[in-house]
Amino acid sequence: MDRTTEELLSFLKEAVTPFHAADRLCRTLEADGYERLPENRPWKLITGGRYYLSRNGSSVLAFSLPEGPFRGFQIAAAHTDSPSFKIKESADRVSAGYRGAETEPYGGSIYSTWLDRPLSVGGRVCVRTEEGVETRLVRSEGPLFLIPSVAIHMNRSCNDKASFSAATDLQPLYGLADDEPFSARIAEMAGVPKESVLSRDLFLFSDGGTVWGAGEQFVSAPRLDDLQCVFALFSAFRGAQPKDAVPVFCAFDNEEVGSRSKQGAASDFLRSALERICESLSLSRNETAARLADSFLVSADNAHAIHPNHPEYADPLNAPVLNGGVVIKFNADQRYTTDAESCALFRRFCEQAGVPVQCYANRSDLPGGSTLGGISSSQVSVRSVDIGLPQLSMHSAYETAGAKDTDALVRVMQCFFSASLETSPSGIRIRF
Ligand code: ZN
């Protein structure tokens, strides 16, 4: 297994919920010497400084300032969340002699893939303190749940047409009726007495990841969408050598449910950070607008690779393959923000980094999904491209991607974070 894939799998093992992903990113930034900026205090930034901030404990933004004046922002964003099941507030359920925990779906999972698989639980717990409230990150030591399928003898049509009710078919088993309820376990996981637990955001997650195939060219793991991109962007950000632009790394929560939370891509998280950076460097509104006009946003979210058994779902010409390199996404209706200009710029970065590029477009009679780029552009209107890494089985509990593609994204984004743009009436100059 190559080093990048090894590091990716170790990141996925830690980043089991958006809270854990953000925590891991913050700890790494802290160890690298980045200074944490509290959102509830005025910022005093110095040139040459390196900073990060987090919102809701599930979204993270990091940037570094050059020694001299800067031209624009080189921004790249991905998302920390993945489809899952969230434990409900009142969750203790007893039925047919068993104990379970009531859940509801978070995002759009392929339900069948969550069945008959050991599931762990993690997230955050809010506990009572003398002064008020404290938030604690928690995860179970090992699997505690499983969603059992119904035997084929009782459901003869299970292979013809899969249909699941989230209220009945997808409720996870936890123990037997006379076992302690799951809620008792939450206090234990948080390391506090039962009466101290006030609330929680807890999600089921599955573990494990592996490299496989004729030439070990495939990597399969939970949450590749979109933690493979988070990992690649973050590695590139840490390894970049910026000159006269401000590189900005963003990891947003809640993409899978539309991004419309205070920490999602539709929030003011990015816009407010960029405004505060400019203000704290004493730039006028006029000067700030000029910086934004020379900025570039790369929105990175995994893309559908052509399926080995169902190539008919792919566009005949714009169909990426695993290990074929980074994917640029196109959509005439602007569900992806890519246009000729942003595509051309991104291609120039790929050329510079020696990275292969592929194109994705939906089959013209299939609607497809949308992602961060368009939503973020409505908050911070800068030139933008939607890209991603090719993968199979998007939103399965166990997804598959090309083992070589992660490194390709790291290389092109390192080049991106190190560069700056200068727009003129005759074109855009890239300073690599
Ligand atoms: Zn995604």
The rounded Å distance from CA 212 to ligand 1 centre is: 23
Q: What is residue 375's predicted lDDT score, i.e. its pLDDT? A: 81
Residue 302 CA to ligand 1 center (angstroms) comes to 6
Q: Is residue 211 part of a domain?
A: no
**Domain C-terminal end among 143, 178, 205:** 205
Distance 401 CA to ligand 1 centre (A): 13
Range of the domain at 153: 84-205
Of 307, 300, 274, nearest to 408 by C-alpha is 300
Contact residues for 227 (Cβ-Cβ < 8 A; gap 6+): 11, 12, 15, 21, 80, 82
Are residues 405 and 389 in contact, defined by beta-carbon separation less than 8 angstroms?
A: yes
Q: Is residue 42 part of a domain?
A: yes
Compute, in angstroms, the gap from residue 29 CA to the centroid of ligand 1: 23
* Cα 81 to ligand 1 centre (Å): 8
pLDDT at residue 368, as a whole number: 80
Verdict on whether the full-model pTM lies above 0.95? yes
Ligand 1 centre distance from Cα of residue 260 (Å) = 15
The answer to whether residues 340 and 393 belong to one domain is yes
Find the 423 Cα to ligand 1 centroid distance in Å.
31
Query: Which residue, chain included where needed, has tokens 């074929």?
Result: 324
**What is residue 369's predicted lDDT score, i.e. its pLDDT?**
79
Whether 180 and 46 share a structural domain? no
CA of 48 to the centre of ligand 1 (A): 33
Is there a domain that residue 217 lies in?
no
Q: Are residues 187 and 231 in the same domain?
A: no
Q: For residue 28, how far is its CA from the centre of ligand 1 (angstroms)?
A: 23
Residues 92, 42 share a domain? no
Question: CA-to-CA distance for 91 and 204, rounded, in angstroms?
Answer: 13
CA of 283 to the centre of ligand 1 (A): 35
The one-letter amino acid at 373 = G
- How do the pLDDT tens digits run along the chain, 432 residues long? 899 999 999 999 999 999 999 999 999 999 999 999 999 999 999 999 999 999 999 999 999 999 999 999 999 999 999 999 999 999 999 999 999 999 999 999 999 999 999 999 999 999 999 999 999 999 999 999 999 999 999 999 889 988 999 999 999 999 999 999 999 999 999 999 999 999 999 999 999 899 999 999 999 999 999 999 999 999 999 999 999 999 999 999 999 999 999 999 999 999 999 999 999 999 999 999 999 999 999 999 999 999 999 999 999 999 999 999 999 999 998 899 999 999 999 999 999 999 999 999 999 999 887 788 888 888 889 999 999 999 999 999 999 999 999 999 999 999 999 999 999 999 999 999
How many angstroms does the Cα of residue 41 sit away from the middle of ligand 1? 32
Q: In the block, which residue shows the tokens 């000029």?
A: 290
What is the domain-level CATH number for residue 393?
A: 3.40.630.10
Indicate the residue type of 406.
T
Q: Are residues 111 and 92 in the same domain?
A: yes
What separation in Å is there between the alpha carbon of 226 and the centre of ligand 1? 5
Instruction: Give residue 204's identity as a one-letter amino acid code.
Output: L
Based on the fold, state whether residues 242 and 365 are members of the same structural domain.
yes
What spacing in Å lies between the alpha carbon of 201 and ligand 1's midpoint? 21
Quote the ligand 1 centre to 75 CA distance (angstroms): 18
Q: Is 294 found in the same domain as 250? A: yes
In a shared domain, residues 229 and 284: yes
Residue 135 lies in a domain: yes
Q: How far is the CA of 79 from the centre of ligand 1 (A)?
A: 7
Which sign, positive or negative, has the C-alpha torsion 238, 410, 268, 20? negative
Clarify whether residues 166 and 123 are in a common domain. Answer: yes
User: Tokens in use for 90?
Assistant: 């009142």
- pLDDT at position 137: 98
Residue 354 belongs to some domain of the structure: yes
135 alpha carbon to ligand 1 midpoint, in Å?
Answer: 27
CATH value at residue 165: 2.30.250.10
Q: How far, in Å, is the centroid of ligand 1 from the Cα of 393? A: 12
**Which H or E run includes 155?**
none
- Which of 173, 205, 237 delimits the end of a domain? 205
Domain assignment of residue 410, yes or no: yes
Burial class for 311, CB neighbours closer than 10 Å (0-12, 13-18, 19+):
exposed
Please tell me the distance between residue 140's alpha carbon and the centre of ligand 1 in angstroms. 25
Ligand 1 centroid to Cα of residue 390, in Å, is 11
Beta bridge partners of 388: 327
Residue 259 Cα to ligand 1 middle (Å) = 11
**Residue 267 placed within a domain:** yes
Ligand 1 mean position, distance from CA 112 (Å):
19
Q: Distance from the CA of 388 to the center of ligand 1, in angstroms?
A: 9
Query: What Å distances lie between residue 317 and 223, 362, 401, CA to CA?
Result: 28, 10, 20
Are 321 and 250 within one domain?
yes
Same domain, 162 and 227: no
Distance (angstroms) between ligand 1 centre and the Cα of 215 equals 27
How many angstroms separate the alpha carbon of residue 203 from the centre of ligand 1? 17
What spacing in Å lies between the alpha carbon of 199 and ligand 1's midpoint? 28
Distance 227 CA to ligand 1 centre (A): 8
Asked if residue 216 is part of any domain, the answer here is: no
Distance 189 CA to ligand 1 centre (A): 29
Judge if 70 and 106 occupy the same domain.
no
What is the pLDDT at residue 162? 82
Domain count, the chain: 2
What separation in Å is there between the alpha carbon of 107 and the centre of ligand 1? 10
Distance 26 CA to ligand 1 centre (A): 21
Ligand 1 geometric centre to CA of 180 (Å): 37
